[in-house]
Every structure is written in C-alpha cells, then in structure tokens.
Amino acid sequence: MRGMMDDIVYRIAEKAAERGGTAYFVGGCVRDMMMGKESKDIDIEIHNIIPSELEIVLDGLGKRIETGKSFGVYSLKGYNVDIAMPRREKATGSGHRDFRIDVDPYIGEKEAARRRDFTINSIMRNVLTGEIKDNYGGIDDIKNRIIRHVDDNSFPEDPLRVLRAAQFSARLGFKIAPKTEELCRGIDITSLSAERVMGEMKKALMQAETPSVFFEVLRKTDQLDFWFYELKKLIGVKQNENYHKEGDVWTHTMMVLDEAAKVRDTVSCPLYFMISALVHDLGKPEATEIKDGVAHAYMHEIKGLKYVESFLKRLTNERDMIKYALNMTALHMKPNVAAGAGSSVKSTNRMFDESAAPLDLIALSQCDGRGKLPRDDKKLAENLDFLTERYGVFMEYMSRPYVTGKDLIDAGLEPGESLGDALRYAHKLRLAGVEKDSAIKQTLSYAGKKKRKDKKK
C-alpha cells in the first residue's frame, strides 16, 4: 500500500497526465532509490504543461504554496514534496544567490537535467511508468561510486557545488572525478553566505560515517583558506611523537572527528559535540614549541579559545553552539588527566560542575584518546570506568540538600554582592560534599570574616 506521500505524488502525476503533462521524480530521491536508501525529501518535475495548467492541477489537490512561482517551484500544504517545472539557470552574479531562471515546460528531459550539479543527481524516473531517464551516466557513476559534474560550463557558476561535492563524498563514500576536482579548485567560494557553508558542513558532520572526508576534499581542492582558515593552520603542526605517532595536528583532528561520528547519537547535543571535536585543538599552532627536538603544546586548550570563537563566528551566530564548543575545548584535556592521576572527588566534581555537558565531555575525551597512534584501548577503558564512577558521585552530591540564597537571608545575610559571594563559597562546599547544616555555618563564618576584612580596607 502506498503511503500518504507517495499517494499525493501519484495523484499529481495522474492529474498532470490528463492535461498532457509528464511527472518525474528528480534529484536526490532518485539517487537514493538507486542506492536502496529511503529519501525524506521528494522532488518532482512536471514537463509538457504550462504553469497555469499545473496550478489548476495542484489547486484541485490541496492548498498550493508558491515557494518560487517565478522559478516554477511549488508545494502543497501538509506534504513534504517540492513540485517544479523544467527550467534553465544562468548565473548573473557571485555566490549562491544571483541566477536568471527561465521556466520552459517543453525544454525536454536532457536539457532540464543539464542544470543539475552531479550526474548522480541528474537521473529522472517517470512517476507513473517507472521509466528511467539517465542522460548523463548517473547510474554508472553510482555503481562506480563517483561524483562527477554534469556540465563544464554551468558547474562553476554555483560555488556552493564545491561544498556539495565535499559533503556528498563524505556522506556517500564516493570519490570525486579528477575533472570535477579540478573545476572545484578554481571556484571562488568566498562570496557564499555563512548559512550555506554551515549547512553543507552540518550535513557532513551529522550524516557521514567519516566526516573527515569533507575537510580532506576541501584541503585537496585548496578551499580551506577563507571559511576554514583556523583548520588549515593545523596542517604541518608537529605533535609529541611519544603520544602522537599519527602525524600532525590536522591528522589527529580528522581522526578524532571520525571517532566522534561513531558516538554522536549517544550525546546530548550531537551537532555541538561534532563541532567541538573539530575545533578542540585549534590552539596547538600557537601553543606548540619544540624543546630538545620534542613538540609540546602547553595550555593549547586555553590558547585555542580565541580561534574557536573566530572560526565559529564566521559560520554562525548560534550563541549556544559557540558557548558549548568553547566550554568543551577549554576542558577537553581534563578528564583523561584526572583519570590518569586518580584525582580527588573534589577535583572531578569541580570539573563536571564547570562542564556544559559532563557526559559529552567524557565522550569527547574518549574520542580524543582514540583519535591517535598508538591507541591504548585498555587505558581508555580504565579512564572511562573512573570517570563514569566519578560522574555518579558528582550527581549524588548534586542531589543532596544545599545552601540557597533564602537560607542565607533567613540567617541574616542581606541581599547584594556579598550574598552572591557567599553563595559561590557555599557552592564550593557543596562540591566538596559538606552537609547543608555545616555548610550554612561555614558560609556565614566566611561571610562574616570577609565583611570584617572589607571594613578594615
């Protein structure tokens, strides 16, 4: 039995056919079908009827939404299906914004498919008959796992296609054809909007098994300079070979990123977590120094914060993402160091309290440890056991009764700056496991001593 989405598509196709039109599945949904995958986004293209005729068809099936009437693009309210008419596109400016679009219902399947970016996305499937139109060899490229551009002239007109090539390579595990790679190398992507760049990077981070491929493609095509400048600086930065035999900081970061992809579905903020894995070592280029032939990157987690901020602010204004990534970067060294040193409960409590997402922090520290050579899985397992046990202790401490502002006001402290200072002191006692009654007494004593000290100044 056809689902609701399939049903509306077939009804559109049938009604269009009654008026002489032909409906095709197009784009990614056909590619996914060829690869045996389910596609959430359905795109159909209606040939051989004029826009007014198509609008009559759609109006008879539901509430028509004109998502781009001048471009021949429609949808129906309540259905996740894009309905388009065949069209030609010609760039008239820079970036992914300025195109002259000419709707032509009678352009023909081959010419309509020419505007597609890659051959794997140019395949068309007749909605009613199932007949396949593959004018540019997309089926063979799927079989051979190749990403190849459709048209030499139109491909470079849209700089977003450089990033699309990279994310498709990462998501699908396909190689990019040499000529397509060469074209990507010569395209200026600086005029793209941050939203578009972030959108393609997000697809790679969240959908690819090996998101590192996205960045490796951009490296190979010399496209890191503008949007990914801080990442490019990782290339060639040496690491301490006693702990990092895998190579430079770039190599380590890519390995950590791929490890993070394996656990992203288990953390509280998957996208933020992946971003943090990407940026966690941005401080190493500045922090690294060579002493007696050995590379050291002391305090790189703190020195990297300004680079994390500059990188992410170039791509997004999502404050929560930036805040999370800064927090994870600053703390990413602490879990494994704490576990290795067998740190006190007070110390690990303080670490978890500072963390925006303690369990995510533990996960990142594990990825950091797995994304290197040699990899000590036994030690990482021991660290995980230690940190998991200590997180349980932290949560138990946090569940106990604790000193509140009301408690201190009831005990005689006045609201104001001194109360805030007293509450911070009380919180330290809470992390140390001091019982509430004792913590109130100690906090009042602390506040009294501080007040007397301040008066003497």
Q: Compute the average pLDDT of residues 106-125.
A: 97
Residue 125 in this model has a pLDDT that exceeds 80: yes
Q: Compute the average pLDDT of residues 107-125.
A: 97
CATH annotation of 159-227: 1.10.110.30
Residue 57 in this model has a pLDDT that exceeds 70: yes
> pLDDT tens digits, residue range 255-269?
999 999 999 999 999
Supply the pLDDT for residue 417: 85
Q: Compute the average pLDDT of residues 361-383.
A: 97
**Integer Cα distance of 378 and 127 in angstroms:** 55
Residue 67 in this model has a pLDDT that exceeds 90: no
231-398 folds as: Hypothetical protein af1432 (1.10.3210)
> pLDDT tens digits, residue range 325-361?
999 999 999 999 999 999 999 999 999 999 999 999 9
Count CB neighbours of 260 within 10 A.
27
Q: Compute the average pLDDT of residues 229-244.
A: 96
Burial (CB count <10 Å: 0-12, 13-18, 19+), residue 322: buried
Task: Write phi, then psi, for 175 (nearest 5 degrees).
Answer: -90, 150
> pLDDT tens digits, residue range 307-320?
999 999 999 999 99
Q: Compute the average pLDDT of residues 205-210.
A: 98
**Integer Cα distance of 380 and 16 in angstroms:** 61
Helix (H) or strand (E) holding 131: none
Supply the pLDDT for residue 99: 59
39 by DSSP, 3-state: which?
A: coil
Supply the pLDDT for residue 93: 57
Residue 70 in this model has a pLDDT that exceeds 80: no
> What is the residue-wise DSSP string for 322-351?
HHHHHHHHHHTTHHHHHHHHT--HHHHHHH
Give residue limits of the domains in the chain: 4-138, 159-227, 231-398, 405-456
Structure tokens at 334: 């602490």
4-138 folds as: Beta Polymerase; domain 2 (3.30.460)
Note whether 174 and 147 are within 8 A (CB).
yes
188 by DSSP, 3-state: which?
A: coil
> pLDDT tens digits, residue range 156-180?
999 999 999 999 999 999 999 999 9
Supply the pLDDT for residue 4: 56
Show Cβ contacts of residue 284 under 8 Å, excluding neighbours closer than 6 positions. Answer: 234, 237, 239, 249, 297, 300, 304
| Cβ burial 5-19 (10 Å sphere, 16+ → b, else e) | eeebbeebbebbbee
What's the chain's Rg over C-alpha atoms? Answer: 29
Supply the pLDDT for residue 3: 54
Note whether 367 and 260 are within 8 A (CB).
yes
Q: Compute the average pLDDT of residues 70-82.
A: 90
Supply the pLDDT for residue 2: 45
Note whether 87 and 22 are within 8 A (CB).
no
pLDDT band at 1 (very low <50, low <70, confident <90, very high): very low
Question: pTM of this prediction?
Answer: 0.93
Supply the pLDDT for residue 147: 98
**Integer Cα distance of 375 and 258 in angstroms:** 15
Residue 138 in this model has a pLDDT that exceeds 60: yes
pLDDT band at 82 (very low <50, low <70, confident <90, very high): very high
Supply the pLDDT for residue 457: 63
Looking at the chain, the whole-number percentage of residues with pLDDT higher than 90 is 89
Note whether 23 and 6 are within 8 A (CB).
no
Residue 95 in this model has a pLDDT that exceeds 70: no
Does 71 or 259 have the greater pLDDT score? 259
Looking at the chain, the whole-number percentage of residues with pLDDT higher than 70 is 96
pLDDT band at 88 (very low <50, low <70, confident <90, very high): confident
Supply the pLDDT for residue 416: 87
